[in-house]
Amino acid sequence: MGRTSDAKDRLIEVGSRLIHTRGYNAVGVQEICEEAGVNKGSFYHFFPSKKELVLTIIERHEGFMTQQVQEIFSLDLSIHQKFEAFFQSIFGMACEIKETCG
């Protein structure tokens, strides 16, 4: 993975964590950049605004959820077992969120 892509991924990871734990209005672009080890100019190269960063984070989460659903429903299981696996997956994610947010 190239340096540019790595910087963007770090911004997304750090932004996601900070905004998730403290809220959108409590986190600034400068703080995200400092924690990600990326200069502010690079942030604006990848994202025109903090709002665009959040939209990218949401799109990544949506892609992850879609992939999980597709994997679960492609398994050779009964429909009941597929739904059970799906809800276990959702429950697991909810537990992770609760752990992160408190």
Q: What is the pTM of this model?
A: 0.73
| pLDDT tens digits, one per residue of 27-79 | 999 999 999 999 999 999 999 999 999 999 999 988 888 898 899 989 999 99
| pLDDT tens digits, one per residue of 1-28 | 445 579 999 999 999 999 988 999 999 9
pLDDT of residue 65: 86
Number of domains the chain contains: 1
Contacts of 1 (CB under 8 A, 6+ apart): 9
DSSP designation for 37? T
Give the Å distances, CA to CA, from 77 to 73, 81, 83.
8, 6, 10
C-alpha to C-alpha distance for 34 and 92, rounded to whole angstroms: 31
User: Averaged over 82-87, what is the pLDDT?
Assistant: 90
Q: Can you give the residue range of the structural domain that contains 37?
A: 3-101
Question: Under the phi-then-psi rule, with left for phi > 0, alpha for psi from -120 to 50, and beta for the rest, what region is 37?
Answer: left
